[in-house]
Amino acid sequence: MQFQISDELIEKIRFLIESKDEEELLLHLEDVHHADIAEILTELDLEEATYLVKVLDSQKTAEALMELDTDVRERILETLSSKEIAEELQEMDTDDAADIISELPLERQQNVIDEISDEEHADHIVELLRYDEDSAGGLMAKELVKVNENWSVTGCMTEMRKQAENVTRVHSIYVVDNKDKLKGRLSLKDLLTASSNANISDIYIPQVDYVSVHTEGEEVARVMQKYDLEAIPVVDEMGRLVGRVTIDDIVDFIREEAERDYQMAAGISEDVVADSNIFKQTRARLPWLLIGMFGGLGAASIISGFSSMMELFPKLLIFVPLIQATAGNVGVQSSAIVVQGLANGSLRGHIWGRLAKEASLALVNGISIAIIVFIISSYFFSTSYTESVSIGIALISVILLAALIGTFIPIILDKNNIDPAVATGPFITTSNDVFGILTYFLIAKAVLGF
């Protein structure tokens, strides 16, 4: 049922672009959804894409531009004049337009804004640019339907139809007082069934969820999800209605947050996609590899420090990778559970209870693994009884320690208002590697007495 972008279609479009057959191009792409236009733009090379953007109606390309990956969009915008960009922005909702402008180089931003012919639209965009992009102010759009509490139902209907022209989806009608302060909301059902000489103040619902322009995006997402809202009004410091955040922006926000956390856990520190260039990818990845490298060198120093053991009990050395892998895996598991619990609010207070639980869990897993390794090392690697005992005890201790570090670090970071997600992945793995190996050698020393 969905529109499919075939290689033939792309070839056809390429051909039409090359032969500059504008008419045929417009005909071909008339009924194509802007999200599909975006996919087509991604498949074309830069020159072709720019040509297509210029040929197509800016109403369609404006929405398609919004769907593009930042990299592709940036390259296309570079080839457009300030006036051409302004025409695209004119067709966008204010929140999208502000997002696009903020991606432009500073000196171009002003030129583009100057070229926007609708002064109110330009004003709104400038206002939105002031807010942090991860705050409700940065996420909101200025487009909404609002009515004054003192209006009559009849007057309201006329005004509403006018406002609705500029709003893609109405969601809710907000009620404000003469000073623009948010008073409540109105259901479309009530409005349709109310007698036409009633006043808005008689029929509106005085309860409405709202957020402030400074509320963090994460909190906006939480509130909208918790209360199943499809739009939430945003008020300024004076309680005046200044915009609204809609659920589609929040869906994007949630997805981006999830992707960021996932990348963070994998040791990738910048927002990179498979297509990002090598320089950007190196910048995102190398720092974490260096942390791992210093951890590995730390482990090397520890092993050197126990050189007497290397001579007396060389067999113990072959289990270092086992100790290290186990410490890393346990740490990642524990930290992932805690980070996720902190993110979705399912983890409440009780830090000591949490640690006690992780500790018992670690004991269960630790003892199971220690028993298996005890048997396998004795039989297949012919370790002596005391050597096997020391490996077993070390495994249990290392798992316990790794679980506690994995639990403790994200909680501590969160309490200090640092995103606990940074603690997952290479960070936890590396510290657990080092502590794990140190613990292993210390226990071996204690048990075997060298």
**Least distance from a copy of itself to the Cβ atom of residue 37, Å:** 12
In the window 322-351, what residues touch a copy of itself (CB under 8 A)? 322-326, 328-330, 332-333, 335-338, 340-341, 344, 346-347
Kindly state whether residue 83 participates in binding a copy of itself, applying the rule CB under 8 A: no
Cβ atoms 394, 440 nearer than 8 A:
yes
Kindly state whether residue 233 participates in binding a copy of itself, applying the rule CB under 8 A: no
DSSP secondary-structure letter at 421? G
Distances 429 to 80, 298, 424 between C-alpha atoms, Å: 47, 13, 8
Kindly state whether residue 409 participates in binding a copy of itself, applying the rule CB under 8 A: no
H or E stretch covering 295: helix 278-305
Comparison of 115 and 218: residue with beta carbon closer to a copy of itself: 218
| E strands in 93-240 | 145-148, 173-176, 182-186, 211-212, 231-235
Instruction: For residues 307 and 310, give the distance between their C-alpha atoms in angstroms, rounded to a whole number.
Output: 5
Comparison of 112 and 425: residue with beta carbon closer to a copy of itself: 425
Interface residue with a copy of itself among 27, 205, 293, 412 (CB under 8 A) is 293
Kindly state whether residue 225 participates in binding a copy of itself, applying the rule CB under 8 A: yes
In the window 59-78, what residues touch a copy of itself (CB under 8 A)? 67, 69
The rounded Cα 33 to chain-centroid distance in angstroms is: 26
**Least distance from a copy of itself to the Cβ atom of residue 5, Å:** 11
Nearest 10 degrees: Cα torsion 391, 393, 397, 403 = 80
Interface residue with a copy of itself among 32, 129, 203, 303 (CB under 8 A) is 303
Comparison of 84 and 433: residue with beta carbon closer to a copy of itself: 433
Kindly state whether residue 392 participates in binding a copy of itself, applying the rule CB under 8 A: no
Interface residue with a copy of itself among 20, 83, 169, 415 (CB under 8 A) is 169
**In DSSP terms, which residues pair with 256 in a beta bridge?**
none
Cβ atoms 251, 221 nearer than 8 A:
no
| Binding residues for a copy of itself, total number by CB under 8 A | 110
Three-state secondary structure call for residue 77: helix
Per-residue contact string for residues 426-445; x = within reach of a copy of itself by CB under 8 A: x--xx--x---x--------
Cβ atoms 55, 26 nearer than 8 A:
yes
**Least distance from a copy of itself to the Cβ atom of residue 86, Å:** 24
Kindly state whether residue 299 participates in binding a copy of itself, applying the rule CB under 8 A: yes
Interface residue with a copy of itself among 110, 118, 154, 262 (CB under 8 A) is 262
DSSP secondary-structure letter at 242? E
H or E stretch covering 287: helix 278-305
Instruction: For residues 243 and 233, give the distance between their C-alpha atoms in angstroms, rounded to a whole number.
Output: 6
In the window 84-113, what residues touch a copy of itself (CB under 8 A)? none
Distances 82 to 67, 85, 109, 231, 284 between C-alpha atoms, Å: 20, 5, 9, 32, 32
Kindly state whether residue 223 participates in binding a copy of itself, applying the rule CB under 8 A: yes
**Least distance from a copy of itself to the Cβ atom of residue 25, Å:** 20
Interface residue with a copy of itself among 46, 351, 375, 376 (CB under 8 A) is 376
